Amino acid sequence: MSAKTFIVETLQLEGSSRSARALHMVHGVALSLGMVAVVLGTVTSVTAAAGTLLAAVTYAVVLLFAVEYWLRLAFAPELGLAPDVLSPGEARLRWVTSSAGIIDLLAWLPLLVALLVMSDAAHARLFGTFWILKFGRHAPRLGVLGRVLRQAREPLLAVFVAFLAVLLVAAVLAYVIEAPGQPETFGSVPQALWWAIATLTTTGYGDAVPQTPLGRFLAGGVMVCGILVFALWAGILATEFAKEMRRHDFLKTWDLVAKVPYFEKLEAVTIAEVVHLLKPIEFTPGAVVVRRGAPGDCMYFIVEGEIEIQVKPEPVILGPGSFFGEIALITGGARTATAVARRPSVLLALDIVHFRELAATRPDLTAAIDAEAKRRVLQGT
């Protein structure tokens, strides 16, 4: 492998290579240590005792992110759409102006300038707060939240309008009811708005409290309305988030199913049915997938990697497109062999309940599995 190929594989955000996973781990450690240095740098006693260490950590993190930025810029053509679609210059310009490029720039440039220019190192380190943006790179599904907000914008906006309406009505009523007795607190609608916000959000700071019975009755109603409004917001977001996650998992599993030759001749409607029955699982090298003698509750289809079936006289190596674990599933007995991942592997698991469901709806698919199981039993594998 050339140095260029190694760097490109390492810089892949969702890469599965060992170097890419190592970089992700280094990122996580660097971000964690960097944020700790930023926080502890504001404590005078800690700065006096370990100021040199905090400075060393800060400069190390800045150096790491600076090197990563320039590497991503240099290899943007290989990491992006170029050279097939964009020229190398266009690819680099697109990456620099993208949200990822801007975040990577903010992760080192402002802090480095602050450390070189500002005399107060503790205040300069506060620019490291920009590092929090890079945590999104290590939480791939964080982007789902943006799609959820876009999908649910209409119902969220409707509830927000209701929130504003209740807020304004509550402030006006509080002004009318409480202003004569508490002109310093409820002497105008803008003043009453502070009480309305604190009450509607159920925060209740206690600095503004209705004194009249009618005012307290109003406060109770506003509190209940606040609970209802935020419950609606939470329900809308939870529903849309769950829907988006199911969609994401469905598409991911669909792509994996499409790679298995056993399913490649299926129609789209049938694949959609099968996708709901399969669960993708990743295994690292050396991980035991199934163990001999264990209950057989599911079978596996290999999408990527290699699985070693430890049988005598010699182990059997299965690659992408193969399946195993079906013998125990069909016979109802224990596992007849131990299966171990030889390389990073992605498998699709089909449990016994879904296998029986598939057998009822698609007997042609399960017939091939049954035939393979009988062949392996006869061969003793």
pLDDT tens column, 180-237: 999 998 999 999 999 999 999 888 888 888 999 999 999 999 999 999 999 999 999 9
Residues 328-368 pLDDT 10s = 777 777 888 889 998 888 888 888 787 777 777 777 666 76
Residue 255 placed within a domain: no
Q: Taking residues 162-174, report their average pLDDT.
A: 94
Q: What tokens appear for 101 in the block?
A: 């490029």
Residue 42 placed within a domain: yes
Packing angle of the helix pair 99-106, 109-117 (nearest 10 deg): 20
Q: Are 230 and 138 in contact (CB under 8 A)?
A: no
Residue 177 placed within a domain: yes
pLDDT category at 66 given cuts 50, 70, 90 is very high
Q: Which of 3 and 196 is assigned the larger pLDDT?
A: 196
* Least confident stretch, 54-68, 152-166, 343-357: 343-357
Q: What tokens appear for 309 in the block?
A: 């079936």
**Same domain, yes or no: 232 and 185:** yes
Residue 71 structural domain: 3-138
Mean pLDDT, rounded, of the chain: 83
pLDDT at residue 368 in the model: 65
pLDDT at residue 261 in the model: 67
**Same domain, yes or no: 131 and 7:** yes
- H helices of 109-212, in order, are 109-117, 121-125, 143-151, 153-178, 183-186, 189-200
**Same domain, yes or no: 110 and 29:** yes
Residue 264 placed within a domain: no
**Same domain, yes or no: 118 and 166:** no
pLDDT at residue 4 in the model: 79
**Same domain, yes or no: 161 and 220:** yes
Q: What are phi and psi of 298, to 5 degrees?
A: -160, 160
**Same domain, yes or no: 7 and 128:** yes
Q: Of 138, 165, 184, which one is at a domain's C-terminal end?
A: 138
Residue 263 placed within a domain: no
**Same domain, yes or no: 340 and 290:** yes
pLDDT at residue 163 in the model: 93
Question: Residues with Cβ < 8 Å from 206, sequence gap 6 or more?
Answer: none
Residue 135, pLDDT > 80, answer no
Residue 269 placed within a domain: no
Domains identified in the chain, total number: 3
**Same domain, yes or no: 46 and 120:** yes
* Domain at 344, CATH number: 2.60.120.10
Q: Taking residues 286-314, report their average pLDDT.
A: 86
**Same domain, yes or no: 284 and 373:** yes
pLDDT at residue 244 in the model: 81
Q: Taking residues 72-80, report their average pLDDT.
A: 84
Q: Taking residues 279-305, report their average pLDDT.
A: 86
Residues 307-342 as b or e (16 or more Cβ within 10 Å = b) = bbbebeeebbebebebbbbbbbbbeeeebbbbbbbb
**Same domain, yes or no: 215 and 130:** no
Q: Of 106, 138, 170, which one is at a domain's C-terminal end?
A: 138
Residue 14 placed within a domain: yes
Q: Of 95, 115, 138, which one is at a domain's C-terminal end?
A: 138
Residue 252 placed within a domain: no
**Same domain, yes or no: 99 and 14:** yes
Q: Taking residues 107-111, report their average pLDDT.
A: 89
**Same domain, yes or no: 13 and 114:** yes
